[in-house]
Structure 1
Amino acid sequence: MQKEWKESLAKNDLVSVAKIGRSVGFKGEVLLHLLSDFPESLQKGNTYFSQIGDLTLEYYHAKSSVAKFVQINSKESAKQITNLILYTTKSQSKEQCKLQENEFFWFDIIGSKIVEKGEVLGGVYEIERFCGQDFLSVQTDASLVAQKLPKTFLIPYTARYILEVDSMQNPKVIQTQFCKEILENS
């Protein structure tokens, strides 16, 4: 399994799922802090990559956020994995997490072009969440930077600004409104 994870890492195919919190109890249980909008990605028997190697989920209680890994059997061992990030692959995420219509994985939105009234404003290079709201971090198109506009800006991922995500194009195109104003006032 370790070879598969290394290949996925080399292809930039890993997605963060959760961060391991403090140990709880004496059997090696830990708190998990979700880094995903899909708690269903944490399933018994799933193996996740971490900075110290593979960890297989023995069980996870979503209400209490308590998890136990097959490889961790004591409070001392659990303390050693605190703050580790658990990763899965993009393909495994798509397989286990079913999206509703007009929902997208963050990794599918990154790289999209931001277009407003036919003008390319830039490209999404990251997505950040502040106070429960997602924001697209956009690298401004070079032609607009040449006009002395900021090199980057943020767009709230809400219906007020995002009109449509055209997933049929590669890269995806996100049609927006009011975002040029955001850029000009950044």
Structure 2
Amino acid sequence: MKFIPTPIADLILIEPQVWKDERGFFIETFNTKPFLAHGITAAFVQDNLSCSHRGVLRGMHAQAGENAQGKLVRVLRGSVWDVAVDIRKHSSTYGQCFSVTLNEQNAHSLWIPPGFLHGFVALENDTLFAYKVTGYYDKDSEVGVRWDDPELAIDWPLPKEELIISEKDRQLPLLKEITSPF
């Protein structure tokens, strides 16, 4: 595995070794030893999976408190444009975004530690998105910011009229309207 730093501290892109032959391929998607060697000491407690149609935008979400979630995310089928936003109050990159295409071809994962908002838009129908998280789901600990917050200026790759967004995500506040719990 290659652990590739991003412009935002602690946010790491992970490129696995892919072994291909006439039968297909094999990928090791997680191994504690290389993660520890690269400073990722997270203990994962739950795996989640979502399936999305092209244009489904999920985000921008975080979970704080005793169940603050770090997330190791990847695509099993299809493709997404994935976004993480630093909302750590004392970070020099507070409010900055990082985006990357995750898909079944590149097999990359993204490590998103606690203190980041996370979201993605599915670029293909039937996109399977896997989340390995460090905190149990706790509705009372949810934090969110609108996907179209002008301060974040996220350049989503699909036209606004093609996006499918839940009513809950449409009602989230702007970044300037929240007090970051991180």
Q: Same fold (TM over 0.5)?
A: no
TM-score (norm 2): 0.23
Bigger relative contact order, structure 1 or 2, given CA contacts below 8 A and separation 6+? Answer: 2
In our comparison, the structure showing a higher alpha carbon Rg is: 1
- Structure with a larger share of its residues in helix: 1
TM-score (norm 1): 0.23
